[in-house]
Structure 1
Amino acid sequence: MKSLICLFGAFIAAAVFQTGSCVETVIGLYGETIEVPCKIGSIKQDGLIFTKWKYVKDDGSPGDLLVKQAQKDEATVSATDSYKTRVSISANSSLLIAQGSLVDQRVFTCMAVSLTNLDEHSVELKVYKKPSHPVIKNKAKGLENGKLTQLGECVAESANPAADLIWMKNNQPLVDDGKTIIITSAITKDPVTALSSTSSRLQYTASKEDKESQFTCTAKHVLGPDQNSTSETFPIHYPTEKVSLHVVSQSPIREGDDVTLICKADGNPPPTSFKFNIKGKVTVMDKNNYTLTGVTRADTGVYKCSLPDNDVLESTQMVTVSFLDVSLTPTGKVLKKLGEKLEVSFEKNASTEAKVTWKKGDLTLDKLPDFSNLTYSDAGLYVCDVSIEGIKRSLSFELTVEGGPKILRLTKHRSNDGKHKILTCEAEGSPKPEVQWSVNGTTDESAYLDGKTTYKITVVPNRNLTVSCLVTSKLGQDTRDISVFSLYEEHKSKPEKNEGGMEQTKVIVGVLVGLFVAAALVGLIYWLYIKKTREGSWKTGEKETGTSEESKKLEENNHKADV
């Protein structure tokens, strides 16, 4: 790369007058091709004869580098040292130095000659190089709590000028106080390249809080930006002051679980052995854990751990093993007869208060039903769920109540369109009874629930019938009959729709009406008879002419007639 690097990012022109000449300072990069400018403005290119570059040797004597004739494209190199193969001239007369190094830090002079004038321009060249990435070496394996210890050495190599190193903790600079923090820096030069390496040693007094601290080293250089080393953490060594016992297991601990006891100490490095007190039995382990395999309720108790040589530093934990024992009688499939008694026995034993829930199918029960007189509705699957935290048990029995088939009622009615007769036979029994009708028709059946079901048959009777409903199962049978009038006879007599209900009601009403009419006729005849009898014996407005005996007899006769 052909470029000019200026001090602090720009060309720095230093107006320094030496024996009447102006010297400019130019910054070049180490290892790069450096361009040294020739700034002569008084000579025009069209009048230029030749341009010459010369330099000051290490011993202070002048030396020639190259000459370029105005009419020629190539320059003639006159240097005989290392510059012979490293110098050239650009189109604008600037000197180009390949593979710049610190030996190039000297004064170079550009001389331009014309027919009428000779002019010179001197440039002092500085060659800079950024340091290598800073690295922390000779790191401490650990820091002693409260003790001044060498933490490490930070090195930033091969720079010009030398880099400045700053120690940082948690991104904050550390300041040498001569007591708890001591920083010692040194600069060395490579005898071949003359590049400088900076080293810095840090002595640091750590505390327990530094176990998480991040230490870094920052290299600052004029070419920038700042470079940071990899952050480092250091273990802080201090004695144990506290132990703690931890119980590792699923919660709650149940019988059959494995339980691991872990004893932790706050010292660093931690102890290599621990003493476990397992319910009075002392065991020393070369590790910080002890495992109880397949614990039982008998393992419930207080557990301890401590250091083998220090019982004062001790930690305790209570281990509680949860358990749940349940029993149910009966279980499985249970078969009973209708009206029999079923005794249910349930027992539980738990480490804590257990929750008990009874269910029949999907229905949650407040309590178990009374099974002293079993009914069909008592049949079903009964599940008892018992639980404590972390443990659940389920027990069940399936109750079947058997009974012979029985017809509860047999009824009939006409369909809504008046064209059919619908007979309904309601029956119960377990197992579910089967039905047989004595006539043919369209049958229908309701769901079988709690031992009951309803059978229906739709018929079109063309004559008066006696229809039988027969229900059977493996436990027996039951039958019942019903009379069914033909639809033709009903049409002639125009009976009410419900033959068993409305027609009988009309008959009863007719009989009652007839009785009331007969009673009214008898009463009317009796009233007319009395009236006529009285009118024959007594005359209105007439005086009584008979004797007292006749009057008395007549009165007795009237009294008998009233009876």
Structure 2
Amino acid sequence: MFMKLRLSSSIPTIVGLYGETIEVPCNGGAVQSDDLIFTKWKYTKKDGTAGDLLVKQAHKDEATIQATDSFKNRVSISANFSLLIAHGTLADQTVFTCMLVWESNVKEYPVKVVVHKRPSPLLIKDKAKQLENGKLTTLGECIASEANPAATLTWKKNGDTLKNDDTAIKIISQVTKDPGTGLSTTSSLLQYTAVKGDVGSKFTCRATHETGDQESAAEIFTIHYPTEIVTLQVLNKGAIKEGDDVTLRCHADGNPPPTSFTFFLKEGKIPVNDNDTIVLPSVTRDSSGQYRCSLLEDEKKQGLQEIVVNYLDLSLSPSGMVLKNVGDTLVVDVQKNTSGDAQVSWTKNNGKLDKLPDFGELTYAHAGLYVLEVSVAGIKRSESFKLDVQGKPKINYLTEQLSADGKTKVLSCQAEGSPEPSVQWSINGTNERSTPHSNGMVTHTITVEPRKNLTVMCTVSNSLGDDSRAIVVASVIVESVPEGERSNGNDQAKLIVGIVVGLILAAAIVGLIYWLYMKNSRQGSWKTREKEMGTSEEEKKLEENNHKADV
């Protein structure tokens, strides 16, 4: 198969692939077929002489094979006069000549053939099981076999090319040729001095070739190196508190990793074989302190860890049920002992308090469940007391209110006291209701329909005493008037009221006139100092006026 045309001096060169059909063009594929008599292909033998391959007459469909050697069964000619060589080998690397014969002219076109062979997939053999820190070790040998021309091999670490320095890196490469096929095999031996930083590094071998490059699969080698650093780890998550089991792990950075260690505890030195952990059961505050560990065979390399065991002691006085009277005092004492700064909070009846109330003089409002909560580094403690404030019942007010329809009255009696006072009325009513007992307060209401003025008494009592209060409730008069007579009855009532008011005003006027008259008469006699008795004619007129006034 035709691969590539090259110009080398005056003779063009093509590249064919090993094992495939090589196509050799005649005059680069530009053949003048008019008046062409025949086409002949020949080649140059190793001794420099010419050898015939085939002849194709212009008037015939088939070519005549003239070759008698290895080309005999492998050569043919295409429709465009190219020579076809099946199953190309390295022996086909020579000069092939196309001769064109016309009636009046003959021309020859030589072409040089080069055969390439892609190397087989790369192979790394004799790989090291592990690399020793600081020791020159044979990492492996890379093989690129059966190629033409021979492949060039390079080693890479994490993508970077390794170069031979004859100390930490040594690369030995060689090429061998198969005498039968003529194909070349390239090998490259890598000796490498590993360091601790090479852990996880990827080593590859790369083949560079005319037919294209290829790279081997990455190899990762185990690297052995001694321990340099020892660390002690606490495996517990979060803060450590009293009662916890604490797990300690000793870790060394050597490879292979050490498996036996010495732990230095408060109880003393404890060796542990084939294990890197130890458990401290149920630690206490006295367990706080410094802990160490080392390699079993080398106590100079140690890891250190400081352990803090958190604790919290809490007491509250008073606690439980606390019974007090109204006006008493209450002293609350909190004692706490913690390993660090503690968070303190109070709640009353599940509601958060900014601070504890002043219990200097207790009221009913102080009653409730008080809970103290203290926390530090994952530890939480709580204490509580329930305060009950008692007192003799006392009525705060007793009121009446006319209902919206004007037919009934609602009586309300509010009292305070604890235990919750019971409420009793001196009369029966309806719609009796009572509010919940809160902060020592309770309000009881009833609905009554008084037909006359009543004195109603409210009495409250509990185990500590009682209290009473009375109220005068005015009657509520409701007249039943037929629906059809309501308008007439209202008009008649207005008329009667008008007449009565008129008579009252008339009498008041007459009386006022008489009074003024008598006053003036007396003042006149006092002023003139006349005798108290008038003439007979004046007395007569006075009697007549008196008579008219009486009428």
Structure-1-length-normalised TM-score:
0.73
Corresponding residue number in structure 2 for 1:325:
313
Q: Could you tell me whether the CA contact under 8 Å between 1:37 and 1:95 is conserved in 2?
A: yes
Q: Could you tell me whether the CA contact under 8 Å between 1:40 and 1:112 is conserved in 2?
A: no
Unaligned runs of 5+ in 2: 479-551
Aligned-pair Cα RMSD in Å: 3.6
Corresponding residue number in structure 1 for 2:269:
282
Question: Which of 347, 367, 379 is residue 367 of structure 2 equivalent to?
Answer: 379
Structure 2 residue 241 is the aligned partner of structure 1 residue 254: yes
Q: Counterpart of 1:311 in 2: which secondary structure?
A: coil
CA distance in 2, matches of 1:282, 1:296: 20
CA distance in 2, matches of 1:42, 1:252: 89
**Aligned positions, number:** 475
Q: Could you tell me whether the CA contact under 8 Å between 2:29 and 2:82 is conserved in 1?
A: no
User: Following TM superposition, by how much is the alpha carbon of 1:151 offset from its aligned partner in structure 2, in angstroms?
Assistant: 3.0
**Residues 412/43 of structure 1: CA separation in 2 closer, same or farther (3 Å cut):** closer
Corresponding residue number in structure 2 for 1:139:
127
Corresponding residue number in structure 2 for 1:561:
none
**Residues 74/452 of structure 1: CA separation in 2 closer, same or farther (3 Å cut):** farther
Corresponding residue number in structure 2 for 1:27:
15
> Which residue type is aligned with residue 248 of structure 1?
L
**Residues 310/335 of structure 1: CA separation in 2 closer, same or farther (3 Å cut):** closer
Deviations 1:185-233 (A, max 9, x none): 1112344543222222223334444345443333222233x43333444
Q: Could you tell me whether the CA contact under 8 Å between 1:276 and 1:305 is conserved in 2?
A: yes
**Segment of structure 1 superposing worse, 426-435 or 30-39:** 426-435
Corresponding residue number in structure 1 for 2:250:
263
> Which residue type is aligned with residue 353 of structure 2?
T
Q: Counterpart of 1:99 in 2: which secondary structure?
A: coil
Deviations 1:27-83 (A, max 9, x none): 112333322111178963232233333334556554444333333444444545554
Q: List aligned pairs for 1:487-502, cutoff 5 A.
A: 487=476
Q: Could you tell me whether the CA contact under 8 Å between 2:40 and 2:99 is conserved in 1?
A: yes
CA distance in 1, matches of 2:248, 2:28: 88
Question: Which of 186, 189, 197 is residue 201 of structure 1 equivalent to?
Answer: 189
CA distance in 1, matches of 2:151, 2:293: 55
User: Following TM superposition, by how much is the alpha carbon of 1:303 offset from its aligned partner in structure 2, in angstroms?
Assistant: 1.8
**Residues 434/199 of structure 1: CA separation in 2 closer, same or farther (3 Å cut):** farther
Q: Could you tell me whether the CA contact under 8 Å between 1:404 and 1:475 is conserved in 2?
A: yes
Q: Counterpart of 1:396 in 2: which secondary structure?
A: strand
CA distance in 2, matches of 1:82, 1:364: 108
Q: Could you tell me whether the CA contact under 8 Å between 2:262 and 2:270 is conserved in 1?
A: yes
Structure 2 residue 217 is the aligned partner of structure 1 residue 230: yes
Q: List aligned pairs for 1:505-524, cutoff 5 A.
A: none
CA distance in 2, matches of 1:81, 1:355: 103
Question: Which of 94, 106, 110 is residue 106 of structure 1 equivalent to?
Answer: 94
CA distance in 2, matches of 1:114, 1:43: 11
Corresponding residue number in structure 2 for 1:13:
7
Question: Which of 242, 245, 262 is residue 232 of structure 2 equivalent to?
Answer: 245
Question: Which of 400, 407, 424 is residue 395 of structure 2 equivalent to?
Answer: 407
> Which residue type is aligned with residue 202 of structure 1?
L
Unaligned runs of 5+ in 1: 17-22, 490-563
> Which residue type is aligned with residue 249 of structure 1?
N
Q: Counterpart of 1:103 in 2: which secondary structure?
A: helix
CA distance in 2, matches of 1:473, 1:66: 137
Q: Could you tell me whether the CA contact under 8 Å between 2:401 and 2:409 is conserved in 1?
A: yes
Q: Counterpart of 2:3 in 1: which secondary structure?
A: coil
**Residues 379/31 of structure 1: CA separation in 2 closer, same or farther (3 Å cut):** farther
Q: Counterpart of 2:244 in 1: which secondary structure?
A: coil
User: Following TM superposition, by how much is the alpha carbon of 1:89 offset from its aligned partner in structure 2, in angstroms?
Assistant: 2.4
CA distance in 1, matches of 2:421, 2:398: 15
Corresponding residue number in structure 2 for 1:480:
469
Deviations 1:5-44 (A, max 9, x none): 22xxxx212233xxxxxx3210112333322111178963
Corresponding residue number in structure 2 for 1:496:
none
Corresponding residue number in structure 2 for 1:273:
260
**Segment of structure 1 superposing worse, 379-388 or 81-90:** 81-90
Q: Counterpart of 2:300 in 1: which secondary structure?
A: strand
Q: Percent identity?
A: 53
User: Following TM superposition, by how much is the alpha carbon of 1:471 offset from its aligned partner in structure 2, in angstroms?
Assistant: 4.6
Q: Could you tell me whether the CA contact under 8 Å between 2:133 and 2:223 is conserved in 1?
A: yes
**Residues 459/78 of structure 1: CA separation in 2 closer, same or farther (3 Å cut):** farther
**Residues 447/168 of structure 1: CA separation in 2 closer, same or farther (3 Å cut):** same
User: Following TM superposition, by how much is the alpha carbon of 1:380 offset from its aligned partner in structure 2, in angstroms?
Assistant: 1.8
User: Following TM superposition, by how much is the alpha carbon of 1:123 offset from its aligned partner in structure 2, in angstroms?
Assistant: 1.6
Q: Counterpart of 2:27 in 1: which secondary structure?
A: coil
CA distance in 1, matches of 2:329, 2:99: 132
User: Following TM superposition, by how much is the alpha carbon of 1:410 offset from its aligned partner in structure 2, in angstroms?
Assistant: 0.8
Deviations 1:377-410 (A, max 9, x none): 2322221111111211223344444556543321
**Residues 378/113 of structure 1: CA separation in 2 closer, same or farther (3 Å cut):** same
Q: Could you tell me whether the CA contact under 8 Å between 1:424 and 1:457 is conserved in 2?
A: yes
CA distance in 2, matches of 1:32, 1:479: 126
Corresponding residue number in structure 2 for 1:183:
171
CA distance in 1, matches of 2:216, 2:375: 60
> Which residue type is aligned with residue 217 of structure 1?
C
> Which residue type is aligned with residue 189 of structure 2?
R
Deviations 1:92-130 (A, max 9, x none): 111223333323322222233333333322222112233
Q: Could you tell me whether the CA contact under 8 Å between 1:40 and 1:120 is conserved in 2?
A: no
**Residues 297/486 of structure 1: CA separation in 2 closer, same or farther (3 Å cut):** same
Structure-2-length-normalised TM-score:
0.74
Deviations 1:141-177 (A, max 9, x none): 4444444333332322332211212223343333323
Q: Could you tell me whether the CA contact under 8 Å between 2:36 and 2:103 is conserved in 1?
A: yes
Q: Counterpart of 1:377 in 2: which secondary structure?
A: helix
User: Following TM superposition, by how much is the alpha carbon of 1:483 offset from its aligned partner in structure 2, in angstroms?
Assistant: 0.8
> Which residue type is aligned with residue 12 of structure 1?
R
Q: Could you tell me whether the CA contact under 8 Å between 1:43 and 1:114 is conserved in 2?
A: no
User: Following TM superposition, by how much is the alpha carbon of 1:181 offset from its aligned partner in structure 2, in angstroms?
Assistant: 2.8
Q: Counterpart of 1:312 in 2: which secondary structure?
A: coil
User: Following TM superposition, by how much is the alpha carbon of 1:487 offset from its aligned partner in structure 2, in angstroms?
Assistant: 4.8
> Which residue type is aligned with residue 450 of structure 1?
N
Corresponding residue number in structure 2 for 1:543:
none
Q: Could you tell me whether the CA contact under 8 Å between 1:406 and 1:471 is conserved in 2?
A: yes
CA distance in 2, matches of 1:396, 1:76: 118
**Residues 335/390 of structure 1: CA separation in 2 closer, same or farther (3 Å cut):** closer
Structure 2 residue 38 is the aligned partner of structure 1 residue 50: yes
Question: Which of 455, 463, 473 is residue 466 of structure 1 equivalent to?
Answer: 455
Q: Could you tell me whether the CA contact under 8 Å between 1:107 and 1:123 is conserved in 2?
A: yes
Q: Counterpart of 1:27 in 2: which secondary structure?
A: strand
Q: Could you tell me whether the CA contact under 8 Å between 1:358 and 1:368 is conserved in 2?
A: no
Corresponding residue number in structure 1 for 2:323:
336
Q: Could you tell me whether the CA contact under 8 Å between 2:410 and 2:445 is conserved in 1?
A: yes
Q: Could you tell me whether the CA contact under 8 Å between 1:439 and 1:467 is conserved in 2?
A: no
**Residues 35/404 of structure 1: CA separation in 2 closer, same or farther (3 Å cut):** farther
Question: Which of 122, 128, 146 is residue 116 of structure 2 equivalent to?
Answer: 128
**Residues 101/448 of structure 1: CA separation in 2 closer, same or farther (3 Å cut):** farther
Structure 2 residue 339 is the aligned partner of structure 1 residue 351: yes
CA distance in 2, matches of 1:150, 1:354: 63
**Residues 118/402 of structure 1: CA separation in 2 closer, same or farther (3 Å cut):** same
